[in-house]
């Protein structure tokens, strides 16, 4: 009882801190229809979002006399951002009018009543025809209505240091065909360049979706199993692919082929990977996203003029080289409207301005995003802006998406618990998978699962 009481007090205190910190105007601010409150993440590689929002504030206010945009940048890693945004949405005084919304949270947040449907606006918006259908689907709620307008998407692959590979006697370009090829390359780096960290795969509870999606699901979808049966709408348990994916994490962390568990569990490890370890030649390979080169541009947080000469990209192979031979994960972010927005027309006008052709293209280039508008992806200036856009666009054909269900966030958390247990040596892959299976049943019930055993 005492522990529960302390937790409740801590959560209440956190809520009060967030709510007071995010709204200087109190209840009065929520009734001000002349102010558009825009909340978004400002952290690490997401600095381009801050730049974009600042530019959109200036442009919007210039076009709309009498209206003010209040920017609410939230500095925090993804889990922290999601927690703070949820706390903001629980009070009319702090709920944003426009928010930067991860695609995998659209369903849960719309089900929770935080988001307003946008169909009445998109029906009369000529730009909507330029968005790819699969990108549009990422902003749908469980009721089939549109709650988020996509800003861009992404794919993931292996980034590798060509210079370090050459020094270690590894072939460049790197073209692994199986997981074993990746681990063998990491082992060679360890043997030949002992001062270099061979491979980073995000793992553990502190990394949130960077671990579950970008680390674990990149592996799982390269096996013959999946996380969720979309046809039956049930979560998979008893999966050999799940155990094998945890085995890969064990090989990396218990085999000294990656960061130490202590390093990996640092919430700021992403900043270290992009800002120090890769640019300074301390890390040979990283399973990471298409957007990370934006960090190294002149306008990024860690400019690195030589990045394109040094870094190569290789598709993540399937476990044993089975068709289609490679795999990836895709996600992306949207702009969504708060259900309590006092001036929904103005909130929509801000979203439409921020994601029109010119502004979407500017953002996609700055943030190294895969374009979700056909007129942007076909634009010569966009295609020429980043030498990796072609590679990362090509792997869209075998990419996967997270299950767009309202309970995914809880499942994702259970995945990170399993990863952390294995990476720290507390459990074997089989033991951690069994605990995960029990957790999934606890979340969705027996009827919500299907066993592979």
Can you give the pLDDT at residue 19? 41
Output the CA–CA distances (angstroms, integers) from residue 194 to 17, 312, 396, 424, in the order listed.
45, 21, 35, 22
pLDDT of the residue at 4 = 33
Q: What pLDDT is stored for residue 326 in this prediction?
A: 97
Residue 431: pLDDT band (50, 70, 90) is very high
CA atoms within 13 A on the CB side of 171: 7
Q: What pLDDT digit, counting tens, does each position of 160-212 carry?
A: 999 999 999 999 999 999 999 999 999 999 999 999 999 999 999 999 999 99
pLDDT score for 76:
85
Q: Is the pLDDT of residue 26 over 80?
A: no
Mean per-residue pLDDT over the chain, rounded: 91
Given this model, what pLDDT does residue 174 score?
98
Q: What is the mean pLDDT of residues 207-219?
A: 96
Question: Identical fold at 35-154+331-397 and 156-330+405-451?
Answer: yes
More confidently predicted of 195 and 12: 195
The CATH number of 35-154+331-397, from 2.60.120.430, 3.40.50.300, 3.40.190.10, 2.60.40.10, is 3.40.190.10
**Beta bridge partner(s), residue 70:** 37
What percent of the chain is modeled with pLDDT above 90?
Answer: 82
User: Domain ranges in the chain?
Assistant: 35-154+331-397, 156-330+405-451
pLDDT at 48: 87
CATH topology of domain 156-330+405-451: D-Maltodextrin-Binding Protein; domain 2 (3.40.190)
CB atoms under 10 Å from CB of 145, counted, come to 16
pLDDT tens digits, 362-398: 999 999 999 999 999 999 999 999 999 999 998 988 9
Backbone phi, psi, residue 234, to 5°: -135, 150
- pLDDT at res. 21: 41
| Six token digits for residue 259 | 């960061």
Give percent above pLDDT 70 in the chain: 92
The pLDDT-based confidence of 17 (bands split at 50, 70, 90) is: very low
Comparing C-alpha atoms, which of 431, 441, 435 is closest to residue 236?
441
Q: Quick one: pLDDT band at residue 1, thresholds 50, 70, 90?
A: very low
45 pLDDT band, cuts 50/70/90, is low
pLDDT given at position 86? 93
Least confident of 137-146, 211-220, 272-281, 433-442: 137-146
Sign of CA dihedral 154, 363, 50, 343: negative
* Rg over CA atoms, the chain: 22
**DSSP reduced 3-state for 284:** strand
User: Each residue of 312-345: pLDDT tens digit?
Assistant: 999 999 999 999 999 999 988 999 999 999 999 9
Is residue 104 very low, low, confident or very high in pLDDT (cuts 50, 70, 90)? confident
């Amino acid at each position: 009882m005492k522990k529960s009481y302390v937790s409740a007090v801590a959560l209440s205190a956190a809520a009060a801190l967030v709510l007071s910190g995010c709204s200087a105007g109190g209840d009065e601010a929520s009734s001000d229809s002349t102010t558009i409150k825009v909340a978004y993440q400002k952290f690490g590689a997401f600095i381009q979002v801050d730049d974009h929002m600042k530019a959109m504030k200036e442009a919007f206010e210039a076009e709309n006399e009498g209206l003010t945009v209040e920017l609410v940048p939230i500095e925090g890693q993804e889990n922290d951002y999601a927690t703070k945004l949820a706390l903001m949405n629980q009070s009319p005084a702090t709920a944003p009018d426009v928010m930067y919304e991860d695609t995998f949270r659209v369903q849960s947040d719309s089900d929770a009543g935080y988001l307003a449907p946008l169909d009445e606006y998109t029906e009369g918006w000529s730009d909507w025809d330029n968005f790819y259908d699969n990108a549009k689907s990422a902003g749908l709620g469980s009721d089939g209505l549109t709650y988020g307008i996509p800003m861009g998407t992404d794919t993931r692959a292996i980034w590798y240091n060509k210079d370090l590979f050459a020094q270690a006697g590894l072939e460049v370009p790197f073209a692994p065909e199986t997981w074993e090829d990746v681990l063998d390359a990491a082992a060679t780096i360890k043997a030949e360049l002992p001062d270099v960290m061979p491979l980073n795969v995000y793992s553990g509870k502190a990394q949130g979706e960077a671990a579950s999606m970008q680390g674990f699901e990149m592996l799982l979808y390269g096996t013959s199993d999946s996380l969720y049966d979309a046809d039956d709408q049930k979560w998979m348990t008893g999966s050999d692919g799940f155990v094998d994916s945890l085995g890969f994490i064990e090989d990396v962390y218990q085999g000294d082929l990656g960061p130490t568990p202590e390093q990996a569990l640092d919430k700021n490890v992403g900043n270290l990977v992009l800002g120090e370890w890769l640019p300074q030649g301390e890390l040979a390979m990283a399973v990471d996203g298409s957007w990370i080169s934006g960090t190294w541009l002149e306008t990024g947080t860690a400019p690195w003029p030589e990045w394109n000469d040094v870094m190569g990209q290789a598709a993540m192979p399937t476990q044993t080289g089975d068709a289609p031979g490679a795999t990836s994960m895709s996600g992306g972010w949207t702009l969504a409207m708060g259900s309590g927005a006092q001036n929904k027309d103005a909130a929509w006008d801000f979203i439409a301005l921020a994601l029109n052709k010119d502004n979407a293209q500017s953002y996609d280039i700055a943030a190294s995003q895969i374009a979700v508008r056909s007129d942007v992806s076909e634009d010569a200036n966009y295609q020429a802006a980043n030498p990796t856009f072609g590679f990362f666009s090509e792997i869209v054909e075998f990419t996967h998406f997270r299950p767009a269900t309202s309970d995914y966030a809880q499942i994702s958390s259970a995945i990170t618990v399993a990863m952390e247990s294995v990476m720290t040596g507390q459990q074997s892959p089989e033991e951690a998978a069994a605990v995960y299976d029990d957790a999934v049943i606890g979340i969705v019930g027996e009827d919500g699962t299907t066993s592979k055993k």
